[in-house]
């Protein structure tokens, strides 16, 4: 079922994109995480792509 509410859609996309990805193991971490929750690596990258990318 497609989301028709543009506000909700934007919110959902933001929630999905605003996270950090561990360079080492690729685990998703929260946006305010400083270390990976899986391997405790501090080398996290911000997953913040432009909105509208379909996955
Ligand atoms: Zn990790």
Distance CA 26, CA 33 (A): 14
Residue 9: inside a domain, yes or no?
no
Residue 6: inside a domain, yes or no?
no
pTM here is 0.58
Model pLDDT for residues 1-54, shown as the tens digit of each residue: 677 888 888 877 776 677 899 999 999 999 889 999 999 999 998 877 665 555
For residue 2, the Cα-to-chain-centroid distance in whole angstroms is 21
| Band of pLDDT at residue 55, cut at 50, 70 and 90 | low
Query: Which residue segment(s) compose the domain that 35 sits in?
Result: 20-48
37 C-alpha vs ligand 1 centroid, how far in Å? 7
15 C-alpha vs ligand 1 centroid, how far in Å? 20
Our count of domains for the chain comes to: 1
Tell me how far CA of residue 27 lies from CA of 2, 7, 31, 38, 49, in angstroms: 28, 28, 12, 7, 17
- Is residue 31 a contact partner of residue 25, using CB atoms and an 8 Å limit? no
Residues, Cβ < 5 Å to ion ligand 1: 22, 24-25, 27, 36, 38-39, 41
């Amino acid at each position: 079922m497609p989301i028709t509410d543009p506000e909700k859609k934007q919110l959902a996309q933001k929630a999905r994109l605003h996270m950090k990805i561990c360079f080492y193991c690729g685990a998703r971490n929260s946006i305010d995480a400083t270390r990976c929750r899986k391997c405790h690596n501090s080398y996290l990258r911000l997953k913040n792509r432009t909105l509208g990318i379909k996955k």
